[in-house]
Structure formats: structure tokens, C-alpha cells
């Protein structure tokens, strides 16, 4: 049973920064996969625009190489790849000057869906937005796509929002958080709002606490300079973890529409309590068995930037009052695990004699690897000898449950780009959401800067600093294992 692919309307997609890393690793390989699936119309066009003085053939060759390297394209795809490349054009452009804009204006059609992907430094967003208008390229229905980092604090995020809002309406702006495009993240909404089972239990009467973990094994690699100015809080918590928290905690929207969903997420962010300093643990990885330390990777021997963060948050509303949300994310950790675990409360009383163990139902939603969910339930241990209880997972790994269809799980970028073409903003962040997230994050960062907080070191390849374990131990809880 193959999944149904609904072709999108024809479009012109201009990728500013078309020769950059994101375009070569994610955007264009993603578009190629949509092409292979039959979703991309034969007359749709992709126009790479960047500073390099390439010609069309040179650009096509560059993208062909990128797709072969990053796109998982097989040899058998060669004919399709050649066809896909025919839909690809290139034009050199100067974002800060006038060169190249007339040529671009001559290339972009005004009577089809127009999307402009700003895969460039945020400092160029305003220039691009302005020139798209002054050269009469953009229309009232064009869409622009922007990437994180969307500011580094509330003030810069507001300035960025304004630089876009001066030229485009909010309904035209698509701010990508690629976590929202992940299959399991969307499944989280399907599970919550498509089943009768969970909603009655989804509150402080039944939920003991929630853990959100995004652990990576990679270090900061070649992105040291960017990362050292950001740290885990700006790079991961303010956006990806915050979005996961919103989807887990939000009230049911009246329908699965862009503003309905985003209104509910915004309410969660605004209801977040300020986090006290003793509920935040910052860490920085030290050299481990198989790699260097953070300071070496970031080429900053005196860096105090965190590559790990764990924190305990609270949401001030009726549903969640008193329920801790523990967030943790880090680089160079023991294993690559992203999951959300909803840990339900203990039974108040056990009817089984001699059963002193704490049995808990846990719903774990695994984003990666092995996308899927498992629900820990308590059952009788098989065999004679009375009622001994054990906890077992009811495991649903999508790859097993869905068979061939699991192979059709689209990558986050592919899905999100197609949503842009379809004009569906549900999985994109609205400007006010981004600002609210910074408004919550800013005082925490300012707090540790004012205290000259020094991150705790942790060994590369470990589960993070000891203090992160203590954060939960103090509350009589423990982190879930980082097992794959
Ligand atoms: C990016 C961060 O947004 O997300 C990276 O900037 C991080 O630092 C990445 O590695 C993680 O994404 P994924 O999809 O691999 O979990």
C-alpha cells in the first residue's frame, strides 16, 4: 500500500543562497525526492540565486553532485535526476546591491505560486524583502520562507519581524522550524486529538511529569563560530524544544488550521513560568574517548557557552499547574535520542499483595531514531506463582507497524516546502510565537550572564553533567535512559 501523493499547483521557487549548505544538503535533495514521488508539476521551476558567478550548466552540475551526495539518489535515478535538473535555473544576484535583480524579474512568473526561500544570513532578510518589491517581482500572494536563527533575543527578533512585515503580510511569511515537519511530531497531534484514550488523562490529575529530550551524538563540528555565539538555549530550546512543549501542552484547537493551532501554542508559551536559576543546568562537553572537547571544537579556549542544557519548567494554567516539564538537550551525548515521555502518576493503591514496586504508565513518543511510540503498561508476569506484576512496553515502531508505507515518511524539509507551495502555514511559526519564546528565554540567559555562570563539564559520549541527574533526583524522579 503506497501512500497517496497529491501533486501541488505549479510554482516558481527562488532559493536565495542557492549554492549554500542548506540548499545543497536539504532543500534541493528534498525537492528531488518530491519530484520522484510525482508531486512536483512538470512545469514548476526552481531558480537558484546567489552571489557566485555560475552559469546554468555549472549550477546544475553543482546540484547534481549535491543530490548524489546528500539526497540518497540511486544510480537508477539518473534519468529522473536529469529531468529534475531541467527544471532548475540559476541567476547571480547581489542581495545588497542592484545587480541581478532585473534578470530575476524576467525569470519569475507572476501568474503561478511564487515562493522565495531566504536561505541566507538573517541580516539580509530586509534587503531581499525590499528588493523583491522595488523590482516588482513579488505579488500579493507570494510566499517567503525564512530559517532560524530568527534573532538572538527579543529585540533582534522584533527587528527581523519588522523587516519582513514592512514588505509582506504575516500570511505570506513561513518561518521554518524543521522539528514541526518531522513525521512523529505531527503524529503527536494525531495521537492527542485523534483518540479518545488520552485526552481525559492529559492533565495534572493523571500526569506526574513530562520529559522532553533531544540528545545528539555529534559535536559542534564545523559550526563552532555560529554555535559559540548561540549555545544550546538559543540553538535548540528557544525553538525546537519549545515547539515540542507547545504541542504536548496546548489545548485542543477548534480545528487543525494555521491560526487555531498557533493561537493555542502561543498561549502555552505565554503561560510559561520564569525558570529559577537552580532549575537550570548548563553543561559543556569535555574531551571523551572518541573526540575533542567543546572548546577545541568551537576554537574558543575560554568559551562559557553551553552545549548541554537541562531545565525544569512549569506552565501556569489549570491543566498543568504543578506538573514539571523537564527539558534536556545536548551535543556529544551517549546516543542520539529525541523523545517526549509523558509519565503518568502511580496508582494510589495496589490490590496485589506483595506488590510494592511503583508501576507507572509512560507514553513515550520517539522522534528519532526508530520513530514510533510506546506505552508502558503493567501486566502479570507469565507463569505460576501468584500475581507478580511487571512493566512492559506496548511498542509501535512505525517501520514495523506501517510496513512499506513507513518508507514513504517524508523528510521534514520536503514536507514543509510542499506546505509552502500549498499555502498551509500550520507547521510554521508565527511572528508573535517567536517573540513570545524569546521573551521567555531572554531573562534566563541574562540571568546566567549576570551571574557569570560557568557551565558544568561532562565527558563527551556521556549522559551530560551530574547536576542534570540531580535536577530530577531532588524531585524523587529520574531521567529516562538514553538508549536507542
Ligand atoms: C538545528 C540545530 O536546528 O537542529 C543543530 O541548529 C542541531 O545544532 C539540529 O544539530 C538537530 O536537528 P535534527 O533534525 O538532526 O534533530
In tens, the pLDDT along 215-254 reads 999 999 888 889 999 999 999 999 999 999 999 999 999 9
Please say whether the beta carbons of 123 and 415 come within 8 A: no
All three cell numbers of 252, joined, read 485542543
> Which residue out of 147, 215, 235 has the highest number of ligand 1 atoms within 8 Å of its CB and is therefore the one to mutate?
235
Question: Which of 195, 185, 165, 231 lies closest to 428 in space, CA to CA?
Answer: 185
What's the CA-to-centroid distance between 240 and ligand 1, angstroms? Answer: 8
What's the 3-state SS for 97-121? Answer: CCCCHHHHHHHCCCCCEEEEEECCC
- β-strand partners of 280: 311
Q: Give CA–CA dist 176/157, Å, rounded.
A: 14
Q: Is the dihedral of CA 243, 244, 248, 252 positive or negative?
A: positive
pLDDT at 293: 94
What's the CA-to-centroid distance between 325 and ligand 1, angstroms? Answer: 21
Q: Give CA–CA dist 251/245, Å, rounded.
A: 12
216 Cβ inside 6 Å of ligand 1: yes
Please say whether the beta carbons of 33 and 71 come within 8 A: yes
pLDDT at 407: 54
Nearest C-alpha to atom 4 of ligand 1 is from which residue? 236
Sheet with 372-380, edge to edge strand ranges: 389-397, 372-380, 362-368, 337-344, 207-215, 325-330, 308-313, 280-286, 456-459
pLDDT at 406: 54
Using the atom order of ligand 1, give the atom closest to the CA of residue 182. Answer: 14
pLDDT digit string, tens, across residues 173-197: 999 999 999 988 888 999 999 999 9
Q: Give CA–CA dist 44/419, Å, rounded.
A: 15
**226: number of Cβ within 10 Å:** 12
339 Cβ inside 6 Å of ligand 1: no
Q: Where are the domains of the chain?
A: 11-147, 180-473
- For cell 528519532, what's the residue? 368
What angle (nearest 5°) sits at the alpha carbon of residue 381, between those of residues 377 and 383? Answer: 150
- In order, the DSSP letters of 230-249 are HHHIIIIIIIIIHHHHHHHH
The class that CATH gives domain 11-147 is alpha beta
Using the atom order of ligand 1, give the atom closest to the CA of residue 216. Answer: 10
Long-range contacts of 405-410 (CB under 8 A, 24+ apart): 405/1, 405/2, 405/3, 408/2, 408/3, 408/37, 409/183, 409/371, 410/33, 410/34, 410/183
Nearest C-alpha to atom 8 of ligand 1 is from which residue? 235
Q: Give CA–CA dist 480/463, Å, rounded.
A: 10
Considering 167, 178, 209, 240, which one is annotated as catalytic? 240
Question: Which of 4, 3, 8 lies closest to 417 in space, CA to CA?
Answer: 8
- For cell 527539558, what's the residue? 327
Is residue 296 part of the annotated active site? The answer reads no
**Mean pLDDT split into 10-residue runs, the chain, 484 residues:** 73 97 93 92 96 95 93 76 96 95 96 96 94 95 94 96 96 96 89 93 98 96 90 97 98 96 98 97 91 93 97 98 98 95 91 80 91 90 85 82 61 92 96 98 97 96 96 96 79
All three cell numbers of 457, joined, read 563539564
pLDDT at 1: 43
> Which residue out of 180, 230, 236, 331 has the highest number of ligand 1 atoms within 8 Å of its CB and is therefore the one to mutate?
236
374 Cβ inside 6 Å of ligand 1: no
Superfamily of domain 180-473 in CATH is Dihydrodipicolinate Reductase; domain 2 (3.30.360.10)
What's the CA-to-centroid distance between 309 and ligand 1, angstroms? Answer: 15
| Whole-structure pTM value | 0.94
Q: Give CA–CA dist 416/117, Å, rounded.
A: 12
pLDDT at 370: 82
235 Cβ inside 6 Å of ligand 1: yes
Using the atom order of ligand 1, give the atom closest to the CA of residue 235. Answer: 6
371 Cβ inside 6 Å of ligand 1: no
What's the CA-to-centroid distance between 41 and ligand 1, angstroms? Answer: 30
Amino acid at each position: 500500500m503506497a501512500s497517496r501523493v497529491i501533486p501541488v499547483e505549479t510554482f516558481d521557487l527562488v532559493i536565495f543562497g542557492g549554492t549554500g549548505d542548506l540548499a545543497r544538503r536539504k532543500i534541493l535533495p528534498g525537492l528531488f525526492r518530491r519530484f520522484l514521488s510525482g508531486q512536483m508539476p512538470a512545469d514548476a521551476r526552481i531558480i537558484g540565486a546567489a552571489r557566485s558567478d555560475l552559469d546554468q550548466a555549472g549550477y546544475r552540475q553543482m546540484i547534481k553532485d549535491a543530490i548524489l551526495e546528500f539526497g540518497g539518489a540511486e544510480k537508477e535515478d539518473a534519468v529522473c535526476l536529469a529531468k529534475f535538473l531541467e527544471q532548475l535555473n540559476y541567476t547571480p544576484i547581489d542581495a545588497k546591491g542592484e545587480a541581478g535583480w532585473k534578470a530575476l524579474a524576467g525569470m519569475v512568473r507572476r501568474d503561478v505560486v511564487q515562493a522565495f526561500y531566504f536561505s541566507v544570513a538573517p541580516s539580509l532578510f530586509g534587503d531581499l524583502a525590499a528588493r523583491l518589491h522595488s523590482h516588482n517581482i513579488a505579488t500579493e500572494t507570494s510566499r517567503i520562507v525564512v530559517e532560524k536563527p530568527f534573532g538572538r533575543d527579543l529585540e533582534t527578533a522584533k527587528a527581523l519581524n519588522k523587516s519582513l512585515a514592512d514588505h509582506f503580510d504575516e500570511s505570506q511569511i513561513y518561518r521554518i522550524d524543521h522539528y514541526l515537519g518531522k513525521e512523529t511530531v505531527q503524529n503527536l497531534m494525531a495521537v492527542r486529538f485523534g483518540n479518545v484514550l488520552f485526552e481525559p488523562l492529559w492533565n495534572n490529575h493523571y500526569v506526574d511529569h513530562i520529559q522532553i529530550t533531544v540528545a545528539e551524538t555529534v559535536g559542534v563540528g564545523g559550526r563552532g563560530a555560529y554555535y559559540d555565539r548561540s549555545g544550546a538555549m538559543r540553538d535548540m530550546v528557544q525553538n525546537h524544544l519549545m515547539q515540542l512543549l507547545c504541542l504536548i501542552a496546548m489545548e485542543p484547537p477548534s480545528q487543525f488550521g494555521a491560526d487555531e493551532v498557533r493561537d493555542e501554542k502561543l498561549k502555552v508559551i505565554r503561560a510559561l513560568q520564569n525558570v529559577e536559576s537552580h532549575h537550570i543546568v548548563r553543561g559543556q562537553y569535555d574531551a571523551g574517548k572518541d573526540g575533542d572537547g567543546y572548546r577545541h571544537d568551537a576554537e574558543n579556549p575560554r568559551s562559557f557557552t553551553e552545549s548541554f542544557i537541562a531545565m525544569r519548567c512549569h506552565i501556569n494554567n489549570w491543566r498543568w499547574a504543578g506538573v514539571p516539564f523537564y527539558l534536556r538537550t545536548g551535543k556529544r551525548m551517549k546516543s542520539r535520542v529525541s523523545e517526549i515521555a509523558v509519565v503518568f502518576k502511580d496508582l494510589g493503591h495496589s490490590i496485589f499483595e506483595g506488590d510494592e514496586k511503583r508501576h507507572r504508565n509512560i507514553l513515550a513518543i520517539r522522534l528519532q531514531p526508530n520513530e514510533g511510540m510506546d506505552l508502558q503498561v503493567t501486566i502479570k508476569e507469565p507463569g505460576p506463582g501468584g500475581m507478580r506484576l511487571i512493566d512492559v512496553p506496548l511498542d509501535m515502531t512505525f517501520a514495523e507497524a506501517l510496513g512499506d508505507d513507513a518508507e514513504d515518511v517524508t523528510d521534514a524539509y520536503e514536507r514543509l516546502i510542499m506546505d509552502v507551495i500549498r499555502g498551509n502555514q500550520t507547521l510554521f511559526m508565527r511572528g508573535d510565537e517567536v517573540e513570545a519564546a524569546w521573551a521567555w528565554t531572554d531573562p534566563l540567559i541574562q540571568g546566567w550572564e549576570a551571574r557569570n555562570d560557568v557551565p558544568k563539564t561532562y565527558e563527551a559520549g556521556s549522559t551530560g553533567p551530574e547536576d542534570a541527574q540531580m535536577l530530577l533526583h531532588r524531585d524523587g524522579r529520574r531521567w529516562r535512559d538514553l538508549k536507542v
